[in-house]
Amino acid sequence: MNLHVPPPSPRRPLHVRLATPRGFCAGVDRAIQIVERALEKYGAPVFVRHEIVHNRHVVERLKGLGAVFVKELDECPDDRPVVFSAHGVPKSVPATARSREMLFLDATCPLVSKVHVEAERHHAAGRHILLIGHAGHPEVVGTMGQLPPGAITLVETEEDAETVQRPGDAPLAYATQTTLSVDDTAGILAILKRRFPELPDPHKEDICYATTNRQEAVKRLGADCDLVLVVGSKNSSNSARLVEVAMRAGARDARLVDDASQVDWAWFDGVDTLGVTAGASAPEPLIEALIDAVRDRFDATVTEDDGARETVTFKLPRVLTA
């Protein structure tokens, strides 16, 4: 008996635009290399205080190589190396490591270290610092921990900027978390400048080049895409900001996904143009796997946007290259 088997339904066409730049930045690449080189040089285990970068896949891969992630130094033995995460640490952390005669490797992004140096310079000049950032983020904790308690006031929102008070008659300065939304930060700074005219003119130098470049690339996507998928982990500040920037730029929908397994294909109803990018701590293979999953379901045409070409690199600690 001949059964009529209908031909498979043709796959719906879909235009996929890949943002440039996307994924790893120089600071993230350096931090991961520090853990990998430490494991090669000293063997496992190598302890890492906090997640080296905010990406679940990166952390799990390094665990498989022998890295042990801890919250605080008191979980580390004295005789094994410990790496400080890319987000930076309060001054008390390396001070404690030195007092215990531990071998420690600082993977703080050099652009975060630059903010630390600026904060110390302002403090030495007698200025009180207004830090624009998100409470509890490791980078903010690290920056505030560079100075004595009370030397920095955190400003999270435009509402905070309208109400923050100068302590006494202290002159003011400001610094910013490196992974913020460029546009949100500009709004907060405009309010602070209006209230405290002696503040320097708003600038973007504290927000790192990689954050700025990825946000500019997503603005271009959001203006023309029905859906934007941002590959990155939920605790990644720069990844979360990309979702916000895409929506503000005009995308009908934007979602943050750790990887292709988190995609709900119902999001694609009515989607003709998909934008894809990744936060600065997300590896390129996750993006490639997402594109493969899209191709499995759609007749996808993939194009790569023009954007900034990043050539920045940061040196590794000398102890790992000698």
pLDDT of residue 142 exceeding 50 = yes
Give the CATH number, domain containing residue 77: 3.40.50.11270
292 lies in a domain? yes
CA distance 52 to 59: 7
pLDDT of residue 6 exceeding 60 = no
User: Per-residue pLDDT averaged across 26-34, rounded?
Assistant: 97
End-to-end, the C-alpha distance of the chain in Å comes to: 76
User: Per-residue pLDDT averaged across 170-194, rounded?
Assistant: 94
Same domain, yes or no, for 218 and 290? Answer: yes
pLDDT of residue 215 exceeding 60 = yes
76 lies in a domain? yes
Structural domain containing residue 172:
110-195
Taking alpha carbons only, the member of 55, 57, 113, 119 closest to residue 280 is: 55
Digit-coded pLDDT (tens) for 252-285: 999 999 999 999 999 999 999 999 999 999 999 9
pLDDT of residue 1: 47
pLDDT of residue 2 exceeding 90 = no
Same domain, yes or no, for 213 and 181? Answer: no
- Out of 74, 92, 109, a domain closes at 109
pLDDT of residue 8: 56
CA distance 94 to 223: 45
316 lies in a domain? no
pLDDT of residue 322: 79
Contacts of 5 (CB under 8 A, 6+ apart): none
Digit-coded pLDDT (tens) for 46-57: 999 999 999 999
User: Per-residue pLDDT averaged across 61-65, rounded?
Assistant: 98
Same domain, yes or no, for 66 and 87? Answer: yes
Same domain, yes or no, for 47 and 20? Answer: no
Catalytic residues: 139
pLDDT of residue 220 exceeding 90 = yes
CA distance 187 to 242: 17
Q: How confident is the model at residue 202 (pLDDT cuts 50, 70, 90)?
A: low
Digit-coded pLDDT (tens) for 100-134: 999 999 999 999 999 999 999 999 999 999 999 99
Give the CATH number, domain containing residue 175: 3.40.1010.20
Same domain, yes or no, for 270 and 185? Answer: no
CA distance 207 to 182: 7
pLDDT of residue 4 exceeding 90 = no
**Mean pLDDT of all residues in the chain?**
94
When divided into structural domains, the chain yields a total of 3
User: Per-residue pLDDT averaged across 37-51, rounded?
Assistant: 97
Q: Is the pTM of this model over 0.75?
A: yes
Same domain, yes or no, for 73 and 149? Answer: no
User: Per-residue pLDDT averaged across 10-15, rounded?
Assistant: 91
Digit-coded pLDDT (tens) for 78-96: 999 999 999 999 999 999 9
Listed range (4-18, 210-224, 229-243, 292-306) with the worst mean pLDDT: 4-18
Give the pairing of strands 128-132 and 172-176.
parallel
CA distance 198 to 76: 45
